[in-house]
Structure formats: structure tokens, C-alpha cells
Amino acid sequence: MVIISVSLLFLVLIGVIVLLMFVVPAVISNKNSEEGKKPYKISWVVLGLLVLNWFLFLTNSYSLMPANISDLIFTPIWVILSVAGIVAVVYEFKKNKGFAVSLAGLTTISLMFAVLSYGIGEM
């Protein structure tokens, strides 16, 4: 029981660090930007979906689904969100570099994790 509580505490700590590293700078860059330099709404949607996907993963929500369904949707969701993040970063970098950098960081980590999880899953 102690191991479970320590691991949950560790996952919460990782979640707070991710929030502080990626979401807070994006919000700050949005508040400090001029009216014409605000991020696109689709970029906010991609950022929100990436954070939601990480939250679902860290809280083991995918394990609550039946095994065949979670195996079927786990990797494609990560890859689709990562590709959407790359597209959003490319368009956003021309307009708002601060938001694009934080979105690029989260997208890069998500894409590397998707490739790693796919590689481990195929072993």
C-alpha cells in the first residue's frame, strides 16, 4: 500500500511539473501578447487535448477500459495528437513564438513517448 501511495504522489508531482512547464507559459504568453498576436483557437484545443491525454495516462484511466479497446486506441491517440501538435506549432510559430515553444515541448515529449510505448508494446 505504501508503494502505491508513493507512486501516486510521484505521478501527481510529475503532473504539476508538466503543468508548470508547458501550460502556465502558454497562458502567460497569451496574456502578455497583443490582440493580433493571440494564439489560434485550434492551438488551444490541441494543447488542452495533449494535457487531457497525459492526465488520463497518469491516472491510469486507459486501464479502466477493456484491454482490446485500450490497446486499439492508446497509440493512435498519442500519434494523432502529436501530429496535430506539430501542425499547430508550425502555424503558431509565425504568429506567437512563446506559445509555440511550450506547445512544441509538450508535443515532442508526447511523440517520443508514443514511439517508445509502441516499440515496447511490439516486443
22 vs 52: CA distance, rounded Å: 13
- pLDDT in the model for residue 39: 81
**Amino acid sitting at position 56:** L
Q: Is the pTM of this model over 0.85?
A: no
85 vs 75: CA distance, rounded Å: 15
Q: Are 77 and 63 in contact (CB under 8 A)?
A: no
- pLDDT in the model for residue 67: 81
Dmax of the chain from CA atoms? 52
61-93 tens-digit pLDDT: 778 888 888 778 888 888 899 999 999 999 988
Regions of the chain short of the pLDDT cut 70:
1-7, 22, 30, 32-36
